[in-house]
Amino acid sequence: MNDIPSPTPAPLASENAAEAIAALQKQVRHILVVLVLAVVVLDGFMAYQWKVSRKVLKELEPPFLQMKAVFDRDTPTMNNFLKQLADYARTHPDFQAVLAKYPFQAAPTSAVPAAAAAQPVKTVPPAPAPAKAAAPAPKK
């Protein structure tokens, strides 16, 4: 009795499946449209950021290169000056107090090779604001 299949379920199932597929396709289309709109907005924002950062870099780079060239040119003179001061402070302890206020690393010895003089001046990283922007009065 129960073994005989009814003829109606097969067309019904295929209709339901077709409806489900159509609904799914509709949902996928909607999701894709929303995603495309979101990515378009993100693209616009990122393109703007790209343009701004490129412009900032273009403005920063030439004066920076100029400043770096001047700094690199003056670095041996600065190093030489600091080394001479360190040597002087070794023989004049009262000058050590002056030198100790500044964050320059002390030169190792007076006999410095010429190559070492070309190294950049070593300072403590400038995280805190420098305490002496202006020249302080000599202390007695």
Partner 1 sequence: MKKNSLIPALTGVLLVLTVFLAVAAYATIQFSRKARRIQSEVAVMNFTKINVQALIQETAAYAQTNHAVESILLSIGLKPSRPASGAKTPTR
Q: Which of residues 73-112 bind partner 1 (CB under 8 A)?
A: 77-78, 80-82, 84-85, 88, 92, 94-95, 98-99, 101-104
Distance of alpha carbon 84 from alpha carbon 81, whole angstroms: 5
Q: What tokens does 88 get?
A: 């002087």
Q: For the chain, count helices (H), then strands (E).
A: 3, 0
Q: For residues 104 and 84, is the Cβ–Cβ distance under 8 A?
A: no
Q: Does 14 bind partner 1 (CB under 8 A)?
A: no
Taking the complex as a whole, how short is the minimal distance between the CB of residue 70 and partner 1, in angstroms?
A: 9
The DSSP symbol for 126 reads -
Taking the complex as a whole, how short is the minimal distance between the CB of residue 89 and partner 1, in angstroms?
A: 10
**Please, where are the H alpha helices in 92-137?**
93-100, 114-117
* Dihedral sign computed on CA atoms, order 33, 37, 38, 40: positive
Q: Does 71 bind partner 1 (CB under 8 A)?
A: yes
Binding site for partner 1 (CB under 8 A): 25, 28-29, 32-33, 35-36, 39-40, 42-43, 46-47, 49-50, 53-54, 56-57, 60-61, 64, 67-68, 71, 77-78, 80-82, 84-85, 88, 92, 94-95, 98-99, 101-104, 121, 123, 125-126, 130, 132-138
